[in-house]
């Protein structure tokens, strides 16, 4: 008798999971909504009666719980990289030819629709959903498992028994147009701010603290990539077919192509048909089908070489230019923004568009009240592309770029050969001060749990005037709680704890966080590797900086200028006192060698022991320089299988040594 309730619960769960799959994935319900609800109520009643049989993957949990929670950060087992974007058929052809040259063998391309939603990574162990994590910054994301459990097209338990013990599957969480329209209608009725587009609405929904709200929003999904150690096949497309058998919702538009003509046929078809889909799309993704070939092609620092996104041509709309305003960024760069008569474009209302710089404004010959064509570059950032001169208002004033900073009144400057104006008053200009602090706290920099609104509030109240002031806030905890709007103990402690935790952020990220002009993440890593302590970097001159790989005169001058200013040194000294990391760890330093110092190495072909990207990292770690092309300055060519014939011919012509991976590994042993 004791097993009877358990068996009944398990049977109901299995039956309801199948009905969910039939309804939400196959679109082929085999039971009425009324009968489904009766069975779901029966299951919920039994689970309440026998709480010892609770299962987070039960169909009853689809409605979400009342538990309010904050999202914890989870590091991705496999980084979630973005895709390189293309906007023309020629670029698609270039990608195809690059793959052809890189592999030097037959290959297939899988074409998929690029859905405009929120990227998600789902982990399954023994057929059950264990964790759902957003893309975040690609390295780590938010754990939104409780919310994702409410999405009925995502299986909580898989069908069959031939799936790997553990694997990851990635895809897109979406809000259908019909749900989006209804949601905005409800918000309008309640006089709440409307969502701009389905993607924003979906992202906001997935970050709700109450899973019940998420459940009510009727989000959908499409899954498009599987990762793991023991996948069913070497084919990406074939793995998707298996995933479909296990209960995942896979787009029926996915197609395997054997030629470039097949790819273009797919693009031509969906460029028109996409407008009839129930969800938003913004392009097509092309992927090499073979996982082995994907590994051989490897990655650049940002994108996989075996995949690319083709963006549909942007929609255009005609509207009127009302005015031009100017924004000052953290580096002092002044950016003009067009304020437009609101117009619908790609499902969103556009009121503003970028004008880039003075040259762009002059090129368009813009006048106030001009009728202008607006489009979205890649359907994301609105921009003005042309002026309809036939509609020009004769009394419209010509747009002239400002000469005085709109924030602090300082005369703007522009360097020789540069298109951008800057406000040089970086110590007193509020947007620059706040912008540097906003950059400092970002995930890729110091990862402090704080948004621009909080920085604005802290600045306006006089609590912070530079980044070092953030580390003194711990002494004013009670004051913050009492003086700042909508701040309580929990939110204050979250901020203070994340500020304290940021003291363990490694040196190269601290260097990036300082916001030195032209010093991005990659340059910061190069500088940290070459100058192990901040003191060495502070005392470096232009010549010594230019000895570092990828550091040119422009970056070197900027770094020297930054450290020549006393106020920056004062802030760094204060940050040192607070315990921030301003030197490389001994572990990283111990792994660096100069075995390849002065050597320039070109990598060609495919390898067995390491990927091309791993070999590039090894070369840099040992003091060498990577190059993508062969020249008289090339020291070696690290050659794997299928080395390109043109590279081989050029190497032989120049008399450059060719070594295999065994020789190379022996060289650095």
**End-to-end alpha-carbon separation of the chain, Å?**
67
Q: Using CA atoms, how far apart are residues 267 and 308, in angstroms rounded to an integer? A: 13
Q: DSSP secondary structure string, 498-557?
A: HHHHGGGS-HHHHHHHTT-TT--HHHHHHHHHHSSBHHHHHT--HHHHHTSTT--HHHHH
Cα dihedral 422, 426, 431, 436 in deg (nearest 10): 110
Cβ 96 vs Cβ 266: under 8 Å: no
Strands 636-639 and 600-604: parallel
The reply to whether 114 belongs to the active site is yes
Q: DSSP secondary structure string, 329-397?
A: -TTSBEEEEEEEEEEEETTEEEEEEE--SHHHHHHHT-BTT-EEEEEEETTTEEEEEEE-GGG--TTPP
Cβ 75 vs Cβ 121: under 8 Å: no
Q: Using CA atoms, how far apart are residues 54 and 627, in angstroms rounded to an integer? A: 57
Which CA distances in Å does 408 have to 404, 425, 428? 8, 8, 7
Closest CA to 376 of 337, 345, 344, 338: 345
Give the CA diameter of the chain. Answer: 90
Q: Using CA atoms, how far apart are residues 652 and 649, in angstroms rounded to an integer? A: 5
Cβ 248 vs Cβ 159: under 8 Å: no
Provide the phi-psi class of 579: left if phi over 0, else alpha when psi is between -120 and 50, else beta. Answer: left
Q: Using CA atoms, how far apart are residues 169 and 130, in angstroms rounded to an integer? A: 12
Owner of token pair 């255009």: 316
State the catalytic residue, choosing from 41, 72, 77, 114. 114
Strands 166-174 and 118-125: antiparallel
Which CA distances in Å does 389 have to 323, 363, 370, 473, 631? 17, 13, 8, 55, 51
Owner of token pair 């009324």: 34
Q: What are phi and psi of 448, to 5 degrees?
A: -95, 130
Cβ 83 vs Cβ 626: under 8 Å: no
- Active-site residues: which are they? 114
């Amino acid at each position: 008798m004791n097993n009877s309730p358990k068996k009944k619960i398990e049977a109901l769960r299995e039956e309801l999971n199948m009905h969910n799959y039939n309804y939400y994935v196959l679109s082929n319900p085999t039971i009425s909504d009324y009968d489904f609800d009766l069975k779901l109520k029966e299951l919920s009643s039994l689970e309440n009666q026998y709480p010892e049989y609770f299962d987070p993957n039960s169909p009853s949990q689809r409605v979400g719980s009342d538990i309010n929670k904050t999202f914890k950060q989870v590091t991705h087992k496999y980084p979630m990289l973005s895709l390189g974007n293309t906007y023309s058929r020629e670029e698609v052809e270039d990608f195809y030819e690059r793959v052809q040259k890189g592999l030097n063998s037959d290959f297939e391309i899988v074409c998929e629709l690029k859905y405009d939603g929120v990227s998600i990574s789902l982990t399954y162990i023994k057929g059950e959903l264990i964790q759902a994590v957003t893309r975040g910054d690609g390295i780590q994301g938010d754990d939104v498992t409780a919310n994702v459990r409410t999405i009925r097209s995502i299986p909580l338990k898989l069908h069959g028994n031939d799936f790997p013990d553990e694997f990851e599957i990635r895809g897109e969480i979406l809000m259908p147009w019909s749900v989006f329209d209804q949601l905005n209608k409800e918000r309008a009725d309640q006089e709440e701010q409307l969502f701009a587009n389905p993607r924003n609405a979906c992202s906001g929904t997935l970050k709700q603290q109450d899973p019940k709200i998420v459940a009510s929003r009727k989000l959908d999904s499409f899954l498009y990539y599987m990762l793991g150690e023991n996948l069913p096949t070497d084919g990406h497309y074939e793995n998707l077919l298996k995933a479909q058998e296990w209960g995942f919702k896979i787009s029926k538009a996915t197609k395997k192509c054997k030629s470039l003509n097949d790819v273009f046929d797919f693009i031509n078809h969906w460029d028109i048909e996409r407008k009839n889909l129930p969800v938003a799309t913004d392009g097509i993704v092309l992927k090499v089908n073979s996982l082995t070939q994907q590994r051989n092609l490897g990655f650049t620092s940002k994108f996989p070489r075996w995949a690319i996104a083709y963006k549909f041509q942007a929609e255009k709309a005609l509207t009127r230019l009302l005015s031009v305003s100017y924004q000052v960024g953290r580096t002092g760069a002044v950016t003009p923004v067009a304020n437009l008569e609101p117009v619908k474009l790609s499902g969103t209302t556009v009121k503003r568009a970028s004008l880039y710089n003075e040259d762009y404004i002059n090129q368009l010959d813009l006048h106030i009240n001009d009728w202008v064509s607006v489009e979205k570059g890649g359907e994301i950032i609105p921009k003005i592309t042309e002026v309809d001169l036939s509609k020009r208002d004769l009394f419209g004033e010509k747009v002239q770029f400002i000469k005085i900073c709109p924030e602090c009144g300082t005369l703007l400057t522009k360097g020789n050969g540069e298109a951008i104006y800057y406000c040089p008053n970086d110590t007193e200009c509020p947007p620059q001060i706040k912008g540097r602090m906003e950059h400092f706290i970002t995930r890729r920099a110091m990862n402090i749990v704080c948004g621009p609104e909080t920085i604005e509030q802290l600045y306006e109240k006089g609590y912070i005037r530079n980044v070092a002031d953030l580390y003194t806030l711990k002494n004013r905890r009670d004051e913050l709680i009492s003086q700042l709007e909508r701040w309580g103990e929990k939110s204050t402690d979250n901020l203070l704890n994340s500020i304290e935790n940021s003291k363990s952020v490694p040196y190269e990220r601290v260097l990036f966080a300082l916001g030195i002009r032209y010093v991005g993440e990659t340059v910061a890593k190069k500088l940290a590797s070459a100058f192990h302590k901040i003191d060495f970097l502070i005392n470096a001159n232009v010549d010594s900086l230019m000895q570092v790989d990828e550091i040119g005169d422009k970056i070197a001058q900027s770094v020297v200028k930054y450290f020549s200013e006393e106020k920056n040194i004062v802030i760094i000294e204060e940050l040192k006192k607070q315990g921030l990391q301003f030197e490389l760890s001994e572990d990283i330093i111990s792994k660096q060698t100069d075995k390849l110092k002065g050597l320039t190495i070109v990598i060609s072909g495919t390898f067995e022991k390491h990927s091309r990207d791993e070999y590039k990292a090894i070369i840099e770690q040992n003091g060498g320089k990577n190059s993508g092309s062969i020249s008289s300055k090339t020291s070696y060519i690290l050659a794997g299988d299928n080395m390109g014939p043109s590279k081989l011919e050029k190497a032989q012509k120049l008399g450059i040594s060719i070594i295999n991976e065994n020789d190379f590994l022996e060289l650095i042993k």
